[in-house]
Structures are given as structure tokens and as C-alpha cells.
Structure 1
Amino acid sequence: MPEGHSVHRIARQFDRNIVGREVSASSPQGRFAEGAAVIDGREAIEVRAVGKQMFLAFDGDVWLRVHLGMYGAWDFAGEIEIDPTIASANGRMGQTNQRGTDLDAVYDAAGENSLSSIGAPRKTRVHVRMSEQTRGLEGADDTEWPPPVVGQVRLRLLTAVTSADLRGPTACELQTPDDVQATIAKLGPDPLVDDLAEGEERFVAAVRRKPTPIGLLLMDQSVVSGIGNVYRAELLYRALLDPHTPGKLVPEELVRQLWRDWSRLLVIGVETGQMMTMDDLDPEAYRRAMASRDDRHWVYHRAGLPCRVCGTEIVLEEMAARKLYWCPNCQK
């Protein structure tokens, strides 16, 4: 499932390439035909990302809410202009948690967003898939415009030079402004949306009043927005916190540390496109980490392997039907 950094990156691409333009909307699959007819011909005027959800506003007070869920993806094609806040003018994207390093783009064989996952830092005719599995779209033809529909496209948004195809979302619906506010009000704080200090207080209060294990609370989007399975495991390890600890028993300062660490890791994820959770890597180690998830995380996806710090075997267990990775020695 796309985590918060992916949705913020997608929203930035909409801001650069769709907002401010009249949009033709269609539902090639047919499942969103009525909604597409409502927004067809309208101008996209604003985009917001909150946690794992994106909201795209059109003139006439019509909003599109999209939650990609487990399998959703946006495919962009045509003239794509990269957001300058996540790429430098020379075609490189620098890491955010290392000093004095500017590395060429590298690609992740596992399919997670790479440094160049959303196109080059210039206008260029490309096909770009934006989801947690970011790879080229098979069957795409760069020479044909509009691009042919490939697969089950729930919604196609088309401007004069750019198209955005939505596949497999959990939610794709139209909302009124009041609906949008009600949806967002149910979500926990997002460090890239909410005031950091106020968000911290909301997060601390929510965690400290619940007997629910902290490993579940971090995945509860009403407690904090944007954290998924990868960030959950990594945040808990970085805090050396047992995932089974009831929220109300986690020391307040440790809860605050979790919020501040999430705020930091989310920014890194947005700027690099990677869920990079290891710090202080030398340039070569950083390049390996960007190219391979196996070198990027402390515990995630490392079941049965020795802990990078203590050597204890990393445990994999089910927690609320999701895979949880943790070190029973470091996190106790």
C-alpha cells in the first residue's frame, strides 16, 4: 500500500501538470462514468494530500477523493514537468539525511519509487507510473497521443499535453467541500499538512489515552496519517520500542520522539521517493540502499536475518492481519 510520502509526491505532480488546466475526464473501465462526466471540461484548481488520501478540486466546488489502497496507481504520460522541490536542475536528486553528497539517480529492482521515479527534471514526453510499485507501463507507446488505454483504467484525466490514468484504487469518488472537510477531520495529523507542534500534541494525546498496542496505533489513520507497514516497523525499531506496548504505557517523551522521527522520515521519503530509514551512510552505502531495499531498512523485510545491531534474528509476526518485523532484543 502506498504510504504517505508516495501520495504527497503524486499530489505534487498533479500540482505541476494538472492544476490550472482544463481537464477532459473519462472512465474507460466504466466504473466511474457518472463521476467522470461531472468533472469533464472543468478546470482543476487545487490538490491536497493528507496521509494516504489525495483530494483534487475542480471549479464549481467539486472535489475528487482518491485513496489508492493496496493496489492503486496513477500513470502519467505526455509532457511531465517535475516538481523542483524534489529534483535539482542538473538532473540529480540529492539525499536529505546525508551531508555533502549529490548522487546520480539509481533504480530499485524491487520496484519502489527510485530517485527518478516521476520523470526527469524538465518537460519531457514520458510514461511514469506512480504507486508503491513504480515501474514503466507495459504496452505504452510514447509516439501516440492521447496514449492508448492500457488495462483497467478507472479514471483518465487528460489535458492538452498530459494524461493521468488511475487504476485499482480503493476509493475514487466525488465530494463536496463539506465532505472533504469531514473526511480530513477524521484523519490524524500529517506532518506535511498540520502545524508540527499542534500535530505533535494531537498525536501524543491520542496515543497516551489508548490501551491499544503502539504497533497498531501507528497504522491507525485516525491517530496519525500516512504511516504504513514499512514506516511502522522502522519507526518502532528506531525508537527501540516493543510494538506490543500499550500506547498509554509508552513514555510521553518516546511518543514525541516517534512523531518527530516520522516528520523527518516523511520529508526524506517525499524528496527521494524512497522509504529510506537508515542514517549516516557513506556515499557508496547510500547508493546501495537506494538501489536495493535490502540495504535500506533496519528490520523491514528482514525476517530470519540477524539484527544489524545485536545479531538477534528478526521476527516476523501478524499484527491485525499485517506483517510486523521487529527485533525482540533491541525492542524490549
Structure 2
Amino acid sequence: MPEGHTLHRLARTHRRRFAGRPVEVSSPQGRFATSAEIVDGRVLERTEAHGKHLFHHYGPDLVVHVHLGLYGKFSDVKTPVDPPRGLVRMRMVGPSHYADLRGPTACELITDAEVDAIHDRLGADPLRLDADPDRAWARISRSRAPLATLLMDQTVIAGVGNVYRAEALFRLGLDPQLPGKALDRPTWEALWADLVEMLRDGVKRGKIETLRPEDDPRMLDAPDRGALCARKVYAYRRTGRPCLVCGTPIAHERHLARNLFWCPTCQPAA
């Protein structure tokens, strides 16, 4: 599933390609056709992302909400426009580019109140200027749930997925099973700052690379297909391979139906 940096990068790209001018919006697949007709030809006023949610604002109570889910993807192609290929849920056409959306979990036209409701239920997003890390800390500091659970809870921190969870916990030397209430405030502040740094870098690069300069990427094997979004990482999908810091084999287990990766030596149990 795309993580938060992908949605913020899309918001930035769509702002540059389409905002401030009328946009042709259609639904070749047909599932978004009625809503597409309503916003077709309107000016895209602004775009924003919150966690793994993308919002296109066309005016009062006219907001296209997209959640890519596991399989959703936007293409970004220069004009002229080609006939749609496959099941294109939504097509946006501007003067120089067009974008096709395929396979999202959600693509819907919603009101401003519904947008506010989504923002309200989501946690602090490290990439948003209005993020409130104290709100996330309030949840974490009184929770018995392990950090591995809390970092993936979008109502606590929005935008962190499996890759950033594994890498943030590794970089801070934190046991994934450490209860939230056992985390001290200085470590939380360091963890939040590291998430901000990594996610911003992800927006800039368009991919996840978490190795610090002092750690040699030449020690890495070629990433498997499932790790192509994260090529230079410490723990994610490196099961059984030597830790780049200490050499201990990277551990793996299933945690709440998701894969969890960590180094037992660098992230010792408390």
C-alpha cells in the first residue's frame, strides 16, 4: 500500500499540473461517471493530502476524495491524450498532462463536512504543516499497545505504513513490542522528528531510502520485487539477511496481519 509520501507527492504534482485552471474529468470505466460530470470543466482550486488520503478541491462541497488502497495508482502522462487502457476509474486532463486513476479503494465526490470528518478521524501527519505531534503523543503515552501497532494506526499517526514503521523503529533502536506507555517523551520527540525527515525525503525522491550516510549501501542485496518501493533500507523485507549495523539476521513475524521486520540486537526487548 502506498505510504504517506506518495500521496503528498501526488498532491504536489496535481497542484502543478492541474490547479488554477479548468480540468476535464471523466470516468472511462463508468463507476465515477455521475460525479465526474459534476466537476468536469471546473477549476481545480487546490489539492492536499492527509496520511494516505488525497483531496482535490473544486469548490464548496465539491471535493474528490481518493484513497489508493493496496492497488490504486495514478499515471501522469503528457498530452496528447491516448485512448484509456484498462479500467480507468477517473481521468483528469489538463493543458500539458493527463492523469489516469486505476484500482483505488475510494474515488468519490464528497462535501466539505465529509472532508472535515476524515481529517478529524486521522492522526497527526508528519508531512502536514498543521500536524500536532502532541495529540499523537497523548494517545501513545497512555496506550498499552506496542509501538508496532501504534505506528500503523492511522488515527494516531497518519501516513506511516509498513516500510516507515520498520525503518523508524530500527533507526531509533526501539523494540517493536515496546508498549506505548513505556516510551519516554525525549525518545518520542526523536521518533517524530525522524518520521518527518524520512517522509520529507520520500516526497523529494519519490521512493524510500532510509540508510544514513555512514552505512554502506553496497552491503545490500538487490531488492526483491515486493521491496522495489524501498531500495536502500535497514530492515524492511530483509528477513534473515545480516543487519547492516551489527550483522545479526533481520527477524520477521506476522503482527496484526502485517509483516514486521526488526533487528533483535539493535532493537533489544526492553
TM-score normalised according to structure 2 size? 0.91
Q: Secondary structure at the match of 1:44?
A: coil
2:162 aligns with: 229
- The structural deviation recorded for 1:60 is 4.4
- The structural deviation recorded for 1:303 is 0.1
**What code does the residue aligned with 2:166 have?**
A
2:12 aligns with: 12
Choose which of 112, 134, 144 in structure 2 pairs with 1:177: 112
Matches of 2:209 and 2:185, distance apart in 1? 26
Give matches, 1:107-146, under 5 Å: 145-146=80-81
- The structural deviation recorded for 1:191 is 2.2
1:38 aligns with: 38
1:142 aligns with: none
- The structural deviation recorded for 1:286 is 6.4
2:147 aligns with: 214
Does residue 3 of structure 1 match 2:13? no
Matches of 1:195 and 1:64, distance apart in 2? 21
- The structural deviation recorded for 1:288 is 9.4
Does residue 298 of structure 1 match 2:246? no
Matches of 1:261 and 1:46, distance apart in 2? 28
Matches of 1:312 and 1:193, distance apart in 2? 36
Asked if the contact 1:299/1:326 (under 8 Å) is kept, the reply is: yes
Identical residues among aligned pairs (%): 45
1:251 aligns with: 184
1:24 aligns with: 24
Greater relative contact order (CA < 8 Å, ≥ 6 in sequence): 1
Q: Secondary structure at the match of 1:15?
A: helix
1:322 aligns with: 258
Structure 1 outlier segments of 4+, above 3 Å: 285-289, 291-295
1:131 aligns with: none
Matches of 1:194 and 1:51, distance apart in 2? 13
For residues 96-147 of structure 1, what are the alpha-carbon distances to aligned partners after superposition, in whole Å with 9 as ceiling and x for unaligned? xxxxxxxxxxxxxxxxxxxxxxxxxxxxxxxxxxxxxxxxxxxxxxxxx321
Give matches, 1:254-273, under 5 Å: 254-273=187-206
- The structural deviation recorded for 1:67 is 0.7
Q: Secondary structure at the match of 2:260?
A: strand
Choose which of 116, 122, 127 in structure 2 pairs with 1:192: 127
Matches of 1:329 and 1:271, distance apart in 2? 31
Give matches, 1:273-288, under 5 Å: 273-281=206-214
1:56 aligns with: 56
2:249 aligns with: 313
Asked if the contact 2:60/2:112 (under 8 Å) is kept, the reply is: no
- The structural deviation recorded for 1:252 is 2.1
Matches of 1:224 and 1:309, distance apart in 2? 27
1:140 aligns with: none
Matches of 1:330 and 1:182, distance apart in 2? 40
2:92 aligns with: 157
Structure 2 stretches of 5 or more lacking a match? none
TM-score normalised according to structure 1 size? 0.75
Q: Secondary structure at the match of 1:194?
A: coil
**What code does the residue aligned with 1:204 have?**
W
Matches of 1:306 and 1:281, distance apart in 2? 17
CA RMSD for the aligned pairs?
2.0
Asked if the contact 2:248/2:265 (under 8 Å) is kept, the reply is: yes
Matches of 2:251 and 2:124, distance apart in 1? 30
Asked if the contact 1:207/1:255 (under 8 Å) is kept, the reply is: no
Q: Report how many aligned residue pairs link the two structures.
A: 262
Structure 1 stretches of 5 or more lacking a match? 80-144
Matches of 2:128 and 2:107, distance apart in 1? 21
